[in-house]
A and B are shown apart, each in its own frame.
Chain A
């Protein structure tokens, strides 16, 4: 029986006792088939390098959008959003009082419905169609370093906080009292913002400086904190929960109406029962032209965020690269294993178990993937160090970034870890079919190849 050098090497390594197959065995296996492994090694290496930026963006956006959650997110199942519109041409007295009177009448009518807990008119829907993306710098009066916070407005006296379901932080006035806050200089802020700026959530009466970094000196506003509410996400893909709520008057004659139903009410039944979209107190100019649950409203009217675009486009790019790696591993290992059938036959006849065969091939593939991935990541590190790590929307924090995304090494190593796991998963999928076929070959049948 003649065997060439490569075959001898692989057979020798394979016929060693398999209990506790270690790194050196895998090295030998990989080295013995270096001719075939070189190609898949290069492919994994190139994929690791070229896909890093896409994976980085996906990891950060996934964290921002799905993992970073605000602790005080309001309950959405019983919250409805409606659009109030005028369906009849207005005539006669056009003073603000006469224009808004029927809108208030509509609000009062909705408030009297048995399922309704509270109603609030707002000029802009919260996180819906006009998704809050107004932001500016904010700081304390004593510290020049800024944060970035999102700006929201609410109509004073319109039960905004209790309707939306924003809970006041401990030590803060009640939601009813916060909804009554008035005045240009008074604001309500989120707990995270209070802690980030003052180091505590008990900040009632403390002063803030709004604007300044991007505005002229005369546009700066000095504000007083009148209340603190639990955190809420202003923008879906934002990992900081820094929001400021400014009191305002009702100025929009096509406002939105937020309706909070009682906990035992069924939103679907409510929508069906009142024959939307024609809910109105009597024949009048204003009516709710649309009414949807908050979740439906957000789904139907929110603009597609940049985060979704990034996730989809980079996800497709990454998917294609990984599919290539999987096909490469599948093809390469299938052909390799076909050549090694006799080795496997010998191993099986000397008592090696099926799982030993799988472990041996998987370890070789893992080693190959690990080394290729690490080299690929080391190559990308050169780019990453030149400010090429993906930070997502940086509006949340400006000069006080402290989480893992904002810190270089934790960020880099997190993405490296995810990439390594992903590659291992893909390579494992790639080797599974050929390895399982090899595992289940009978020793006699496998040895027939000799």
Chain B
């Protein structure tokens, strides 16, 4: 018997008992699809998917300040100013790029039209700086990102997505009207799915552009407080802990300078969340060190949910395998009579079953893809990824969201676990029966 002869045997069994095989494959497909939907969601949220290819090196900053005279000692939330970006974060050794951008603008009703004003569409746009294009690796179909010079001069230039370029018949070098002001298009990028929430927008412009109601700075006497969200790209080899350690002296220096300038004690705190902990935080609290153990703990509920989705069908499939083993008792008895060891037979049954499970697994993976493809048009799904106030969005699917080596491994593991859970106990129970009793069934 060759190593892979169990495949032939399994295929013969499938042909022999089509009813059993169909029900088994359907049951497996449902189980694997359920588990894979969870895995794919987690993959979409966590994996490095272009243009968010640097998620594993990205930090998301939040800051709080307090001044005794203003807040009764309470910490108040604030975003960052351009000064915080230029005078602090950009100077840090572990930092490769500092993307500052204004994220709240999707609440506002901005529209873009061609220069004639003939064709108009609502847009989501991101006023940002040049580092945004270093942090998020957009695919430029034509043109380039706006330059540092254009950004510093507040030039009315923009980068648009392919979707918008097609909708309004625009191209690199032409212009559009945003908030009734002309902008020159310097680049067209491949459209980004709004499932990649941080990078997605229709138009990217320098936040230093004036005259369209952008206010990156806040009118306070807290120099580092502004209206900018800041995402940090760490240099390779550095971690969130390294960032926090390096930031500490900067923070203390800032507090001292701010306190002496304002004449009252001023506090400043910065929280830096890695991409993982920003989106998966069942058991972590701010300020806790982001360790691998904590990561594993946070993944546990997701793994348990996947296991649950496998466990119930496994019981169901066990019943089916048990029925089939009952039918094959005589065959097993004969083979044992001719010297087959119980371990071999067990392995063979499990291997044969694995073929069916893998068939079901493949069907399940496709089902999960189909399910997400259909679900993305629903309001509930959109709510998970897109702000309800967004006027324009596209929840397109990227192959990198579904077909990655990690997902393949997870799917295979799910199949293996399901197969073991489903086949091991009934096969073991059946093979433990005495040969005489097994053969007796043949009479």
Whether A associates with B in a native complex is yes
Q: Is the CB of B383 within 8 A of A36?
A: no
Among A41-100, those with CB < 8 Å from B are 42-43, 46-47, 50
Q: Which residues of A contact B19 (CB under 8 A)?
A: 334-335, 338
B345 at the interface (CB under 8 A from A): no
Q: Is the CB of A331 within 8 A of B319?
A: yes
**Contact of A308 with B380 at beta-carbon distance under 8 Å, contacts A40-B316, A46-B315 already known:** yes
Q: Is the CB of B319 within 8 A of A324?
A: no
Q: Is the CB of B322 within 8 A of A43?
A: no
Q: Which residues of A contact B31 (CB under 8 A)?
A: 324
Residues of A within 8 A of B (CB): 2, 4, 35-36, 38-40, 42-43, 46-47, 50, 303-304, 308-309, 312-313, 320-321, 323-325, 327-328, 330-332, 334-336, 338
- In whole Å, how far is B212's beta carbon from the nearest beta carbon of chain A? 15
Q: Is the CB of B312 within 8 A of A304?
A: no
Classify the secondary structure of B's interface with A.
Answer: helix
Among B8-44, those with CB < 8 Å from A are 19-20, 23-24, 26-27, 30-31, 34
Classify the secondary structure of A's interface with B.
Answer: helix
Which chain A residue shows the least CB distance to B308? A50
A-B contact pairs, 23 of them (CB 8 A): A36-B322, A36-B323, A40-B319, A43-B312, A43-B316, A46-B312, A50-B312, A304-B379, A312-B380, A320-B30, A320-B34, A321-B312, A328-B27, A328-B313, A328-B315, A328-B316, A331-B23, A331-B24, A331-B319, A331-B320, A332-B316, A334-B23, A335-B20
Which chain A residue shows the least CB distance to B437? A4
Q: Is the CB of A2 within 8 A of B319?
A: no
> Which residue of B34, B323, B380 contacts A332 across the interface (Cβ within 8 Å)?
B323
Q: Which residues of A contact B27 (CB under 8 A)?
A: 324, 327-328, 331
Q: How many A-B residue pairs have CB under 8 A?
A: 85
Among B297-319, those with CB < 8 Å from A are 308-309, 311-313, 315-316, 318-319
Q: Which residues of B contact A47 (CB under 8 A)?
A: 312
10 tightest Cβ-Cβ pairs between the two chains A and B: A39-B319, A328-B316, A331-B23, A335-B323, A43-B315, A312-B380, A327-B27, A332-B319, A331-B320, A320-B34
Q: Which residues of A contact B30 (CB under 8 A)?
A: 320, 323-324, 327
**Contact of A336 with B323 at beta-carbon distance under 8 Å, contacts A39-B315, A331-B23 already known:** yes
Q: Is the CB of B443 within 8 A of A313?
A: no
Report the separation of the CA atoms of residues A324 and B31 in the bound assembly, to the nearest whole angstrom.
8
Q: Is the CB of B380 within 8 A of A46?
A: no
Q: Is the CB of A331 within 8 A of B380?
A: no
Q: Is the CB of A2 within 8 A of B316?
A: no
Report the separation of the CA atoms of residues A320 and B318 in the bound assembly, to the nearest whole angstrom.
18
- In whole Å, how far is A65's beta carbon from the nearest beta carbon of chain B? 14
Q: Which residues of B contact A331 (CB under 8 A)?
A: 20, 23-24, 27, 316, 319-320
Q: Is the CB of B326 within 8 A of A39?
A: no
Most A C-beta atoms less than 10 A away, residue of B311, B378, B380, B440: B380
> Which residue of A35, A36, A327 contacts B26 across the interface (Cβ within 8 Å)?
A327
Q: Which residues of A contact B441 (CB under 8 A)?
A: 4
With A50-B312, A327-B23 already in contact, 14 other A-B pairs whose C-beta atoms are closer than 8 Å: A36-B323, A39-B316, A39-B319, A46-B311, A47-B312, A312-B380, A324-B313, A327-B26, A327-B30, A328-B313, A331-B320, A332-B323, A334-B19, A334-B23
**Contact of A335 with B315 at beta-carbon distance under 8 Å, contacts A2-B443, A324-B31, A330-B23 already known:** no
Among B310-354, those with CB < 8 Å from A are 311-313, 315-316, 318-320, 322-324, 326
Q: Which residues of B contact A330 (CB under 8 A)?
A: 23
Q: Which residues of A contact B379 (CB under 8 A)?
A: 304, 308
